Structure 1
Amino acid sequence: MTGFFHVYILKCYDGIYYVGRTNDLYRRIKKHNNGEVEYTQSRRPVRMIYYCSFENQFLAIQFEKYLKSGSGRAFMKRHLI
């Protein structure tokens, strides 16, 4: 059995939103808050405001790409954050 793949949205201390994907959500958020992720290192602390899980890695990748697109950002602002 394979694990789940998670797409998550973080709100950074400076108000910036970060979209990411992982197969170990707890470990990844911990890395963000420990300063081990370059993009969020100077924007700590970060707070997870949304996540969703997929059994299929391809679907998780597609959803992450969508959220990072222009229409995905608009969807995110209207419905998720």
Structure 2
Amino acid sequence: MTNNNNIDEMIEQERQQARSACDTQGSSSAECAAAWDAVEELQAEAAHQKQKKPKSSFEVYCDDNPDAAECRVYED
């Protein structure tokens, strides 16, 4: 998972590339549209990462001790 600072830097870099593509290729060009699509995808990923809730202490314990009795999962 990418940390938020890194993804924010990536978004800014993509914005600069999009502005450059639109300046050189024209604002209605396919290159301009694709560059802004890349920005939107990174922004969506950043929003998704912020929505993820942190693991509880119990979940961390079970990740570290999957064979513990309290972490067993029984399926029918």
TM over 0.5: no
Higher normalized contact order (CA 8 Å, seq sep 6+, divided by chain length)? 1
TM-score when normalising by structure 2: 0.27
Greater share of strand: 1
TM-score when normalising by structure 1: 0.26
Greater share of helix: 2
Over alpha carbons, which structure has the higher Rg?
2
